[in-house]
Amino acid sequence: MTAYEKLQNCLACVRKKTDFVPDVALILGSGLGALADEIDAVATVDYHDIEGFPVSTVPGHKGRFVFGYFGDVKVVIMQGRVHFYEGYSREDVLLPTRLMVLMGAKALFLTNAAGGVNRNFNAGDFMLITDHIMTLFPNPLIGANMDELGPRFPDMSEVYDKTLSRIILDTAAKHDIAMQQGVYCQLTGPTFETPAEVRMLTTLGVDAVGMSTACEAVAARHAGIRVCGVSCITNQAAGISPTPLSHEEVGETGARVGPIFRKLVRESIAAMGEVL
């Protein structure tokens, strides 16, 4: 079976449960999954019920697609994503994003928990992702190109859509939610960074660091759909933070600012109806 046939097979499994065609695909980061519980779900599909689908092993990541509406906008939410550090292949890490493209999503809204590399960032800040760096590990599109989805050499000059990003900033302003903006760097994890690595990232112009997101953005741009994203800065990065980093700290900050974060995402997506 080719990778594309595997993807089609996954789509057939989803279509057995629902014929919902989303406008927006939303991927929820660590500790942010509660947003999927707040929506009036039209349908849900457990990853386990999708043949060949990579199932996340991380505590705090549920494994299902939730389908519903934010305002008039039809959304598919990935409650729980998969990461390279779990040992999945590039193809498996990209599969969920590609599957949501095949479901019909026209835009991908990415969220994550990230460490603040920019010294002006504090735990609990939100950062609009304006660009990313993903070149510190092998490109996720290495391997046979999936010609059905997109070209061998996709352009990445504007990964994060300016119109969707503007809607996020306007929504934040309307609801008095402070926003930072900056460049997100994906590393594979699972270790948090050393202080020397964080100094390197500072030199490279990175504002926030995490273990996801950029590869999914690349998969979505490869397939030609629009992308936007927000990081929840759950901690200052190593060497800036006075204390050692932990997954618990990430979860605690996510939980503390979760209600505002969820409002920002919900309202932004509802406002995107006009431009999709």
Which region, judged by CB under 6 A, interacts with ligand HPA, from 1-9, 41-49, 108-116, 128-136?
108-116
The interface with ligand HPA within residues 244-273 (CB under 6 A) comprises 245, 250
Give CA separation, 81 vs 9, 55, 119, 177, 205, in Å. 19, 8, 28, 26, 27
Of 155, 143, 130, 139, which is closest to residue 215 (Cα–Cα)?
139
Given phi > 0 = left and psi -120 to 50 = alpha, else beta, which region is 108? beta
Number of Cβ within a 10 Å radius of residue 12? 11
Set 9, 34, 41, 85: catalytic member: 85
The reply on whether position 84 binds ligand HPA by CB under 6 A is: no
Which CB atom, from 116 or from 150, has the smaller least distance to ligand HPA? 116
Strands 208-210 and 180-186: parallel
The reply on whether position 237 binds ligand HPA by CB under 6 A is: yes
Q: Which residues of 191-224 are buried (b: 16+ CB within 10 A; e: fewer)?
A: ebbeeebbbebbeeebbbbbbbbbbbbbbbbbbe
**d(C-alpha 131, C-alpha 185), whole Å:** 9
Nearest to ligand HPA by Cβ — which residue? 115
Q: Is 139 helix (H, G, I), strand (E, B) or coil?
A: coil
**Active site annotation includes 272:** no
Which CB atom, from 111 or from 235, has the smaller least distance to ligand HPA? 235
Set 56, 69, 78, 83: catalytic member: 83
**Active site annotation includes 30:** yes
**Token pair of 204 as six digits:** 């490279």
The reply on whether position 209 binds ligand HPA by CB under 6 A is: yes
**d(C-alpha 13, C-alpha 47), whole Å:** 10
**Active site annotation includes 85:** yes
By CB under 6 A, name the one of 129, 234, 265, 271 that touches ligand HPA: 234
**d(C-alpha 45, C-alpha 67), whole Å:** 8
**Active site annotation includes 127:** no
Which region, judged by CB under 6 A, interacts with ligand HPA, from 94-102, 112-120, 123-131, 215-223?
112-120
CB 209 → ligand HPA: shortest distance, Å? 5
Which CB atom, from 151 or from 190, has the smaller least distance to ligand HPA? 190
Catalytic residues: 30, 61, 83, 85-86, 113, 211-212, 235, 247
What residue ranges bind ligand HPA (CB under 6 A)?
Answer: 113-115, 192-193, 209-211, 234-235, 237, 245, 250
